[in-house]
């Protein structure tokens, strides 16, 4: 059956080039620099300048590919549309789903920074804010942005532009004052030592500073005047100006800190402390205002981008179409359900995810998504040669393929070396997206294949987790016993995967066809009707029932282990990963939580597979086969 594709109504193009450039700068200068700059200095020292330069170069070349894709496809949905048109199918949905999660996590990260800034300001005057109040402070800007600023998209853009002008002025004041006073505070211009081994890790950590420029500008394209000329200019100017601002701010901070900086990591008011040392208390409160404004800008842009992606997914029938509908008889142009779902997930990230973890998972997902956006440039040139391309990225196809490989490699390195939790959560998000796409959208054979693939994947993940626990953690006797049970369940699950791919009945048919040929009842050309006989059919039926009940039992055992982990009857101790000279520690709480989540999903999948296997056995028996 052919379905009519929903007609895409493009918004009126009202934005000028200058407004779009300011918008891009605002999206780039989020609250991330206030928290991550100190961490970057601690990791790389003055080498942080090289880390930022590397990030700027990569996002600049990616921006060229974005410019080509945006001028070719200037429609709502941004980077998701590039994946849909260039790659299509399942990968397009996964790219869109990942970009939605990335924008959601970015919004949550900015909200957490907003609360941290307030906490540091009050701590300066010896007032401690309880954790509950901090949580309320972090969710407040998200709710205000969704309820007030996002009444219409035009209001959101105007407020973002106003905030960006103020922020640029404050940063210019910071940079100029810092450079003027530098010869007095640091006459020799001595900078912290360059830590060459920290340049790449610092780049991986701080790349989040650049990701919002290209991705959020892509969602602005439908509203930009003269898109064929202005889109490339907007992307290039916004990236270059943002990079200059980041390098200038970092240089001023490095000069102010001197040769031996101390206590800089994780300080959300580092810029405020630095500016206070330059011009006194006025400098502190100037940068506090800048931090608050930058987080509000980031919340504004990332929430808008998240809604744009989920709306585009609903437009293409990946999500229910109700998600993209606006409220009738009102001036609001925002889809109510799309906004509501995005806000709920943002609040979950804000409340339950730590700020460092939120930054890492955002970076991981953006690396993954940017890899495939660059790949879409190659595919789209070959697949859609008829498209009008007012702007073409240079060095095709070497540049997009190189960036594709780089970003995939960065995602893996970030996950394995810096944040294993981010890698695991990223894989879980991928599995959730994969499962949703095939269970909701695909046909019955695809559903069975999906469940089989998920079983196999989780068996491998649990096997790796058990290996990590046994080799990199303190293991108590009860954990050893649990690990042995999990190994047995994992082996059994892989056996069921083999039987899912090659069912017993099909193996019996194969045996009769090529070995026991007298059991072939009828030959019809190249086709055959095979009678297995009652005895053989009964044996197959009983074996399938046993496998079904064993899967149910295995799922039950896994869920019991989950219950024990949830009630702290057993716990995973701290996991210490020693990779060359790098030491990564997964705390007991984080390890137990991840392990519990993975086991819970695995247990549910086994129970579902057991029920479906039992139902298939019953169905086949009722047909007399």
Give the domain 29-358 fold.
Answer: Amino acid/polyamine transporter I (1.20.1740)
Number of residues that this document lists for the chain: 625
Mean pLDDT by 10 residues, the chain (625 residues): 44 73 82 82 89 91 86 70 74 82 89 88 83 89 80 72 88 88 77 86 84 72 75 88 92 83 69 81 86 87 86 83 74 78 90 78 82 84 80 86 88 70 68 64 62 80 84 80 88 85 67 55 49 69 85 89 80 70 67 79 83 77 63
Q: Is 362:102 a contact under the CB 8 Å cutoff?
A: yes
Instruction: Read off φ and ψ for residue 575, nearest 5 degrees.
Output: -105, 120
Q: Is 24:240 a contact under the CB 8 Å cutoff?
A: no
In three-state secondary structure terms, 529 is strand
pLDDT of residue 6: 44
Q: Is 417:353 a contact under the CB 8 Å cutoff?
A: no
pLDDT of residue 189: 74
pLDDT of residue 513: 60
Residue ranges of the chain that CATH labels 1.20.1740.10:
29-358
CA distance 596 to 604: 12
- The token pair at 214 is 């290209």
- The token pair at 259 is 């040769």
CA distance 507 to 511: 6
pLDDT of residue 582: 58
CA distance 530 to 513: 8
* pTM summary value: 0.71
pLDDT of residue 524: 47
Q: Residue 228 belongs to what H/E stretch?
A: helix 227-257
Strand residues in 83-235 grouped as ranges (E):
none
Q: Is 228:17 a contact under the CB 8 Å cutoff?
A: no
CA distance 367 to 211: 9
Q: How far is CA 209 from the centre of its chain?
A: 15
């Amino acid at each position: 059956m052919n379905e009519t594709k929903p007609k895409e109504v493009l918004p009126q193009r009202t934005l000028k080039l200058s407004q779009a450039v300011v918008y891009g700068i605002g999206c780039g200068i989020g609250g991330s620099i206030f928290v991550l700059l100190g961490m970057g200095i601690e990791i790389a020292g003055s080498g942080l300048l090289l880390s930022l330069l590397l990030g700027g170069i990569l996002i600049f070349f990616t921006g060229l590919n974005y410019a080509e894709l945006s001028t070719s496809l200037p429609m709502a949905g941004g980077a998701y549309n590039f994946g849909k048109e260039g790659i299509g199918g399942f990968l397009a949905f996964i790219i869109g789903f990942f970009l939605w999660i990335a924008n959601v996590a970015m919004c949550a990260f900015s909200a957490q920074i907003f609360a941290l800034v307030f906490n540091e300001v009050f701590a300066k005057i010896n007032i401690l804010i309880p954790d509950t109040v901090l949580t309320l402070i972090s969710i407040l800007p998200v709710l205000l942005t969704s309820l007030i600023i996002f009444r219409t998209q035009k209001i959101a853009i105007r407020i973002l532009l106003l905030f960006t002008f103020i922020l640029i002025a404050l940063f210019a004041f910071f940079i100029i004052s810092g450079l003027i006073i530098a010869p007095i505070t640091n006459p020799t211009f001595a900078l912290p030592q360059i830590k060459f081994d920290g340049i790449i890790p610092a780049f991986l950590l701080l790349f989040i500073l650049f990701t919002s420029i290209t991705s959020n500008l892509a969602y602005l394209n439908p509203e930009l005047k003269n898109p064929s000329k202005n889109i490339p200019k907007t992307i290039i100017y916004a990236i270059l100006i943002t990079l200059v601002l980041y390098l200038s701010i970092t240089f001023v901070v490095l000069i102010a800190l001197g040769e031996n900086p101390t206590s800089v990591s994780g300080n959300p008011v580092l810029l405020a402390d630095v500016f206070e040392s330059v011009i006194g208390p006025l400098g502190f409160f100037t940068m506090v205002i800048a931090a608050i404004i930058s987080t509000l800008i980031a919340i504004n842009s990332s929430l808008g981008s998240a809604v744009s992606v989920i709306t585009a997914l609903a437009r293409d029938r990946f999500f229910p179409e109700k998600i993209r509908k606006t409220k009738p008889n009102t001036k609001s142009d925002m889809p109510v359900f799309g906004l509501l779902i995005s806000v709920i997930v943002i609040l979950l990230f804000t409340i339950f995810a730590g700020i460092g973890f939120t930054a890492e998972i955002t970076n991981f997902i953006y690396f993954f998504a940017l890899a495939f956006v660059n790949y879409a440039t190659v595919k789209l040139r070959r697949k859609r040669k008829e498209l009008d391309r007012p702007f073409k990225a240079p060095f095709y196809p070497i540049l997009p393929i190189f960036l594709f490989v780089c970003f995939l490699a960065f995602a893996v390195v970030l996950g394995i070396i810096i944040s294993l939790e981010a890698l695991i959560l990223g894989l879980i998000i991928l599995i959730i997206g994969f499962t949703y796409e095939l269970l909701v959208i695909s046909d019955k054979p695809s559903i069975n294949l999906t469940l089989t693939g998920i079983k196999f994947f989780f068996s491998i993940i649990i096997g790796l987790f058990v290996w990590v626990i046994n080799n990199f953690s303190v293991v108590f006797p009860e954990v050893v016993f649990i690990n042995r049970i999990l190994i047995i369940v994992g082996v059994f699950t892989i056996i069921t995967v083999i039987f899912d791919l090659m069912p017993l009945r099909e193996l019996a048919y194969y045996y009769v066809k090529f070995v026991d040929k007298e059991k072939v009842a009828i030959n019809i050309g190249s086709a055959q009707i095979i009678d297995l006989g009652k005895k053989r059919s009964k044996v197959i039926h009983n074996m399938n029932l046993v496998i079904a009940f064993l899967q149910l039992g295995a799922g039950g055992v896994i869920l019991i282990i989950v219950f024990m982990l949830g009630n702290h009857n057993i716990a995973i101790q701290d996991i210490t990963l020693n990779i060359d000279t790098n030491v990564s520690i997964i705390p007991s709480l984080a390890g137990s939580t991840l392990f519990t989540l993975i086991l819970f999903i695995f247990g549910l999948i086994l129970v579902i597979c057991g029920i479906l296997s039992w139902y298939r056995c019953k169905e086949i028996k009722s047909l007399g086969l």
